Structure 1
């Protein structure tokens, strides 16, 4: 290749800055002419927001209220006078029934025991094979039971006054008379204790797993029932108050 001097090229004519780019002259604008916008109207604060006038509150002295009537305590609260009550009046409750005890129950005077037994009467009870139990109703009358299902009320003269039969038809195991004069008897075959009151018989105690053997009435009119377990390995005495075990 040849050197740069060997290449023939037209001479470059330098241009002035005004000749290089032909453009219209730029008009210088002021800041107010650059952006055209409507003039902003400046309003005073009372004209900018229209609100109803605020009504000043009245002070406590300015509020009109009816005068307060001051009353004395008896006039302010009308109530009946408080009656001073004693303890029984303060709480109305049914009277408490005291529990029965041998001392609280009126019982006939106890006759002194004789040093030697005295025979007062010999009575034929009518049982052929044996007399099992006797319970006194009074000094002149007594209940008996024997080998059959019949229980007899006799007097000292041996007169039969009345007789009853067990409901089961079995002989009673034992008999007793309550303080009210009612007859009580136990039946081991059906494990019950029954009461005859006003010639009506009702079952009052029914046992399970135990057999009644003897029965007696206490001074407090409770019942004591001795019993054996069905396997004959245990025995006990149970007190019944109003025919409920206690």
Structure 2
């Protein structure tokens, strides 16, 4: 008998043994022999490889459909929040911007084959909507004090320099005193010096981090002001055009 035939026979024997065990266990549940055979045959039909593959494919298709639904919902939400950017763009620019939003939304997400970016209608705002948006922009612009934000940047940039230099001098002074202290051992002095230098390093780092956070916040406010100023100009231009055309 060949090795292949021997392996095949062993597999057949095991399958037969497993079938017998399953039939015995099913009968222990109270089923009659005929009911047991029907139940077993039903399992054989349900758990063929083809049936398993079909169920897995259905589960996968459902997951892809849910992924697409979630992606479309998120896309519409983001695109809606970008309305006042989109409305001043050309059709071509709008398409590119929406494509970028869709790409970001679906990054790393598996979708059904052939899924395309959803359509998103950018409706031209009415006169009332433009007036309302203009009021919102003016209010937001008035809430940002550019003079103060620029002073914040200048003050904190200088503070980084002054405080760093001042703390470095203080550290050097304390270290020099420690080196001259003969009341402790050399090892103890070295330990105290390391602790002092580490302490000042942390203090300098914290101060720089705090100042940089103030600087970054001020820069963000200035950029927001610039962006809103540009949008206000665009709103005023569109509003003027619509008012002229409505006469």
Q: TM-score if structure 2 supplies the norm length?
A: 0.16
TM-score (norm 1): 0.16
Larger radius of gyration: 1
Higher share in strand: 1
Higher relative contact order (CA 8 A, sep 6+): 2
